Amino acid sequence: MIVTSDHIEGKRIVKTLGLVKGSTIRARHIGRDITAALRSIVGGEIVEYTKLMAEAREEAIHRMAKQAEEMGANAILDTRFVTSMVMSGASELLVYGTAVVVET
């Protein structure tokens, strides 16, 4: 279970295992850039970039959850996302939280 809060309603934290994180760096694709440029002329959502960021979030979450599982956790609390530009056209998406064991 992955949550953004510091507790899970109805569950008791029995052990705190520490920080877990997952990240990915994604670069823009020239084909997506052309489509995005055209879409920016008429306005609206740039679906190509929305999909790119959704894929990046899922990959980062998967990596964080895998690390937590390897530590013996069954939940992650206080989950947060951070993005940063690594270079022109490439961004890192980082997700982090606190791995814990909760009573089931």
In whole angstroms, give the CA distance from residue 100 to residue 104: 12
Query: pTM for this one?
Result: 0.83
pLDDT band at 79 (very low <50, low <70, confident <90, very high): very high
The CATH number for 71's domain is: 3.30.110.70
What residues make up the domain containing 17? 13-102
Q: Let me know: does 36 contact 42? Beta carbons within 8 Å.
A: no
> What pLDDT shows up at residue 66?
98
Domain count, the chain: 1
Query: Is 5 contained in some domain?
Result: no
> What pLDDT shows up at residue 24?
93
In whole angstroms, give the CA distance from residue 80 to residue 78: 6
> What pLDDT shows up at residue 61?
97
**For 17-67, how does the pLDDT look when each residue is reduced to its tens digit (9 = 90+)?**
999 999 999 886 666 566 666 666 767 777 778 888 899 999 999 999 999
Query: Is 6 contained in some domain?
Result: no
Beta strands in 2-65 (DSSP E): 13-27
- b (16+ CB within 10 A) / e for 16-32: ebeebbbbbebeeeeee
